[in-house]
Amino acid sequence: MNTKLRKSIFYWVLLLPLAVVNIFPFAVMFVTAVRPRDELFVYPPTWGFSEFRWENFSEMWVKTNFGGALMNSLYVSITATALALLLAIPSAYAMSRYRFAGKGAYRIFLLMTQMMSPIVLVLGLFRLMMTLGLVNDLNSLVITYAAFNLAFTIWMLQSYFNSIPRDLEEAAWMDGASHLTSLVRIFLPLAVPAMVVTAIFTFINSWNEFVLALTMMRSSNDFTLPVQIYAQVAGRYQVEWHHVMAGTVLATVPVAIVFSWLQRYLIRGMALGAVK
């Protein structure tokens, strides 16, 4: 047996417990989502079940107002991402291309905002939204999510902007283009891939956020997906677990696939902000 094969077997044996525990929740999710309702609470508990009931998904969609929550989540995540990018692009450009007084201080300030978790500020934020009349308004989530994602978005963009050579813009200035023209015609098109990746991560962060959505949204019509699914579980005597798991599958799997695919880019954003 060659050494690489032996090493591989050894490593897989070591990784096996972690792999099992990581896959376990996904198995629970799928197996429960397609189970007939009367096979949820059987004794003794078992993994087996009699038939795949795909109708669980369509029933769940209607019963839990999944579509409404999906639209709320989409609205909040897309708008918050757009707002965060709109504010972050000029900031990241300034951080990448200019030296100016207070640049270091701004970097530290962003770092501080990154470390502040919504939960510590949640009471102050709730009172702020009361003052602004935005409680029960999805836009309260839009502006808070944009704000909490700013630091990450700016770092991520800045790290890409740094990798776009200055010469390209300088060449354009030589040819008589104004700074604005060179920015719009030359720089931004080059930065599109970076902006797309950054946008996807901001989107996922907003999509997954729980505490603020739980706090600001008081009527069930305004719930985003995580809160909607939580509401099917919390404080209920009879939980329809097959519906809850069907909802969880629909709400997480598409996002999880995109995330797994793009995860290696995430490290770049962390690299500049966190691990230098």
Partner 1 sequence: MTAPKAGAWGKMANRIQKSVPMLMILPSLLLAVLIIGYPILDLAWTSSQEVSRFGKLIGFIGWGNFAEVFADPLFWESLSRTGIWTLAVVAGTLVISMPVAMILNDDFYGRGVARVIVMLPWAISLTMTAVVWRWALNGRSGLLNATLMQAGIIDQPIEWLATAGTAFIVEILVGILVSIPFTTTILLGGLSSMPQDAYEAAVVDGATGWHQFRYITLPLMKPFINIAIVLNVIYVFNSLPIIWVMTEGGPANGTDILVTYLYKLAFRFGQLGKAAAISLVMFGVLLIFTILYVALISRNDADDAAPEAEVDDEH
Q: Locate tokens 């599109």: which residue? A: 192
Do 135 and 218 touch, CB atoms closer than 8 A? yes
Find the binding residues for partner 1 in span 81-100 (CB under 8 A): 86-88, 90-91, 93-95, 97-98, 100
Least distance between partner 1 and beta carbon 238 (Å): 13
Q: Which of 133, 176, 238, 276 is close enough to bind partner 1 by CB under 8 A? A: 276
Q: Locate tokens 């060179």: which residue? A: 182
Least distance between partner 1 and beta carbon 58 (Å): 21
Q: Does 234 bind partner 1 (CB under 8 A)?
A: yes
Stretch of 21-29, 55-63, 65-73, 192-200 lying at the interface with partner 1 (CB under 8 A): 21-29
Q: Rank residues 71 and 267 by Cβ distance to partner 1 and give the closer one.
A: 267
CA distance 161 to 191: 7
Least distance between partner 1 and beta carbon 190 (Å): 18
Q: Rank residues 93 and 160 by Cβ distance to partner 1 and give the closer one.
A: 93
Q: Which two tokens stand for residue 13?
A: 């044996």
Half-sphere exposure of 64 (CA within 13 A, CB side): 32
Find the binding residues for partner 1 in span 192-211 (CB under 8 A): 207-211
In one-letter notation, the amino acid at residue 221 is N
* Surface-to-core class of residue 121, CB atoms within 10 Å of its CB (0-12 exposed, 13-18 middle, 19+ buried): middle
Least distance between partner 1 and beta carbon 168 (Å): 16
* Surface-to-core class of residue 8, CB atoms within 10 Å of its CB (0-12 exposed, 13-18 middle, 19+ buried): exposed
CA distance 168 to 187: 8
Q: Does 168 bind partner 1 (CB under 8 A)?
A: no
Q: Rank residues 62 and 130 by Cβ distance to partner 1 and give the closer one.
A: 130
Using alpha carbons, list the distances in angstroms from residue 213 to 147, 243, 254, 257. Answer: 14, 21, 21, 24
Q: Which of 1, 38, 124, 237 is close enough to bind partner 1 by CB under 8 A? A: 124
Q: Does 162 bind partner 1 (CB under 8 A)?
A: no
- Contacts with partner 1, 255-274, as mask; x by CB under 8 A: xxx-xx--x--xx--xx--x
Q: Does 76 bind partner 1 (CB under 8 A)?
A: no
Do 46 and 54 touch, CB atoms closer than 8 A? no
Q: Does 237 bind partner 1 (CB under 8 A)?
A: no
Find the binding residues for partner 1 in span 30-59 (CB under 8 A): 31-32, 40-47
CA distance 230 to 248: 10
